[in-house]
Amino acid sequence: MCVILWPVAQLTFQRARTAENKRRRAAALVEAARSLAVESGVTSVTLTAVAGRAGIHYSAVRRYFSSHKEVLMHLAAEGWVRFSETVCAELAESGPRSPAQVAETLANALAADTLFCDLLANLHLHLEHEVRIERVVEIRRTISAAAVAVADAVERALPALGRSGAFDILIAAYSLGAAFWQIANPPERLTDAYSNEPEVLPPEWNIDFASALTRLLTATCIGLVSESP
C-alpha cells in the first residue's frame, strides 16, 4: 500500500531581537486580538486564538502579554483614545452647546465604536485582573489622559456643568454605554431564545443603543446643569 504523506503547514517563527522588531510583534498581536474581538466579540479573545491569528507560537505570545486580559486592556486604552479624539474634534467645531447636543455627541461617539463599547463592559469587571500591576498602571495613564481631555472638551462646550459636572456626564456616558451595549446586543443564541419567548423581556427592554443612550444622557446633563451653582 502506498501511503502519501501530505506536507504539514508549519508556523514560521523567528524571535524578535531588536526593540523595533519587538514593537512590531506586539503590535501584530494586538491587531490579531482586535480582529478577533470585532468578528466574534471580546469574550472570544484568548491567547491561543491570538497566537493562531497572528501566526505566532503560543509560547512566544507570553513573552509580550501575560494574559489575554492584558491584550484587551491595550485595546480598551486605544478605544479611549479614539473616543476622546472623536468627542474633542466634534465639540471643538463650534461654540457653546446645549445639554442635548453634548449628550448626543457623547452617545454618537460611543455608538460609532462597537468594539470600544464591548470592551467597556469588561474593563472594570474582568480586564484589570490577572494583569501585572505595573502594566495596569501604565495603561491606566493612557485611559486617564483621554478621559481628562473629554471632560475638558465637555466643560468648554457646556460651561454650566463645571469641572465636576463634566466628569459626571463622562462617567454616566461610559457606564450607561457599557450596560446599554450589552442589553442592545445580546448573543445570537439569546436573541433567538427571546424571540421564541417574547414574555421573557418587556418590549421597552428592546432598546436602540444610540437613541436610548442619548435620551438618558440628555436628562442627566440637564439635571447636572440645573444643580450647578
pLDDT beyond 50 at 139 = yes
Same domain, 108 and 151: yes
pLDDT beyond 70 at 43 = yes
- Enumerate the H helices of the chain as residue ranges: 19-40, 47-54, 58-61, 68-91, 99-111, 114-122, 133-157, 162-184, 188-196, 209-227
pLDDT beyond 60 at 13 = no
Mean pLDDT of 83-90: 97
Question: Is residue 142 domain-resident?
Answer: yes
pLDDT-derived band at 15, boundaries 50, 70, 90: low
* Residues 101, 179: Cα–Cα separation, whole Å: 22
Mean pLDDT of 42-68: 88
Same domain, 184 and 203: yes
Mean pLDDT of 105-110: 97
Domain enclosing residue 177, as ranges = 68-227
Mean pLDDT of 89-114: 94
Same domain, 106 and 171: yes
- CATH assignment at residue 135: 1.10.357.10
Same domain, 34 and 98: no
Query: What's the chain's average pLDDT?
Result: 86
Q: For residue 220, give every residue at least 6 positions away whose Cβ sits within 8 Å of its Cβ, in sequence order, or none.
A: 103, 168, 169, 172
Question: Is residue 58 domain-resident?
Answer: yes
pLDDT reported for residue 196: 73
- Enumerate the H helices of 92-132 as residue ranges: 99-111, 114-122
